Amino acid sequence: MDEKKLAIIATKGTLDWAYPPFILASTAAALGYETQIFFTFYGLQLVRKDVSGLKVSPIGNPGMPMKMPFGPKWFKDINWNIPNALQCVIPGYESVATALMKQTIANNGVATIAELRELCQEADVKFLACQMTVELFGFEHSDFMDGLDYVGAATFFEFAGESDICLFI
Amino acid sequence: MNFDKELDARGLNCPLPILRSKKTLNEMTSGQVLKIIATDPGSVKDFAAFAKQTGNELMSSAEAAGEYTFMIKKK
């Protein structure tokens, strides 16, 4: 049986959206898929050397539960429904929301992004970075982790065209 | 049931139990049995799917007191 192939295009650069590409890629690799991720536009943030600066923004995201990761259960169960207009004027709102999200992630035994990314690399998931976006955003190759191939869309299609599953995230 | 290696995946959430199991199986030889203990309720279906797709045999899958125990024989 030929090895199945998974191709992922990662376009988002926030902490929450960093999860789907790395979870799916690492799991696919564990299932025997040959896997590639093409990081483009804001997705490039996921292959910076240091991903500890990734943030999550609750602003304009009505799907995000705002719950506290500490305290008694009745307190944790409260959904802090804060209006967008207010979220926008509170300084450091995103940083606080990010810190709370990271605590929730740790409480639930969910891996960190750095950990999942490393697991992907150990499992030979290939990372491609969009050279055009690197230039567009004024990045240098030295801003990024080792082991990236800097390519264009045509190179991605070489693999994606033969893939069994192709996801745009 | 006898096993050759044990993996404690308690407290870990998706996809870590599967990834750690895969990694551990890589260090084992064909025919050896890996015992996995997990607390993620999603792992019951996930380990069945993992076994089906990788060809490793899921010999048993059991639940007791909120803990799930899986026995997987390496292909």
Q: Choose between A81 and A7: higher pLDDT.
A: A7
Nearby residues of A22 by Cβ (< 8 Å), 6 or more positions away: A46, A113, A116, A117, A119, A120
Residues A109-135: tens digit of each pLDDT: 999 999 999 999 999 999 999 999 999
pLDDT for A86 = 84
ipTM of the complex: 0.83
Per annotation, catalytic residue among B8, B14, B48, B62: B14
Contact in structure between B58 and B72 (CB atoms under 8 Å)? yes
- Provide the 10 A C-beta neighbour count for residue A35: 29
- Selection from A105, A10, A114, A17 nearest residue A57 by Cα: A17
Residues A44-102: tens digit of each pLDDT: 999 999 999 999 988 888 888 888 898 999 999 988 888 888 888 888 888 999 999 99
Average pLDDT of the segment spanning A33-40: 97
Beta pairing partners, A38:
A9, A128
What is the C-alpha separation between A5 and A129, in angstroms, rounded?
A: 18
pLDDT for A1 = 52
In a domain, A38, yes or no: yes
pLDDT for A62 = 84
In a domain, A28, yes or no: yes
Listed by number, the residues of chain A in 33-92 with a beta carbon closer than 8 Å to a beta carbon of chain B are none
pLDDT for A88 = 85
Q: What is the CATH number of the domain that holds A30?
A: 3.40.1260.10
pLDDT for A64 = 85
Query: In a mutagenesis test of the B interface, which of A24, A27, A116 is the best target, namely the one with the most B β-carbons within 10 Å?
Result: A27
pLDDT for B10 = 95
Domains held by chain A: number: 1
In a domain, A117, yes or no: yes
In a domain, A81, yes or no: no
**pTM (2 decimals)?**
0.88
In a domain, A14, yes or no: yes
Q: Is A31 on the interface with B (CB under 8 A)?
A: yes
Answer yes or no: do A23 and B14 touch at CB < 8 A.
Answer: yes
Chain mean position to CA B70: 5
In a domain, A41, yes or no: yes
Q: What are phi and psi of B10, to 5 degrees?
A: -65, 135
The minimum CA-CA distance between B62 and chain A, rounded to whole Å, is: 21
- Which domains, and CATH codes, for chain B? 5-73 (3.30.110.40)
In a domain, A42, yes or no: yes
Task: Judge whether residue A167 has pLDDT over 90.
Answer: yes
In a domain, A105, yes or no: no
Domain that holds residue A137: 5-53+112-168
B73: annotated active-site residue? no
Chain A neighbors of B18, CB-CB under 8 A: 27, 30
Q: What is the pLDDT along chain B (75 residues), one digit of tens a residue?
A: 799 999 999 999 999 999 999 999 999 999 999 999 999 999 999 999 999 999 999 999 999 999 999 999 999
Contact in structure between A39 and A22 (CB atoms under 8 Å)? no
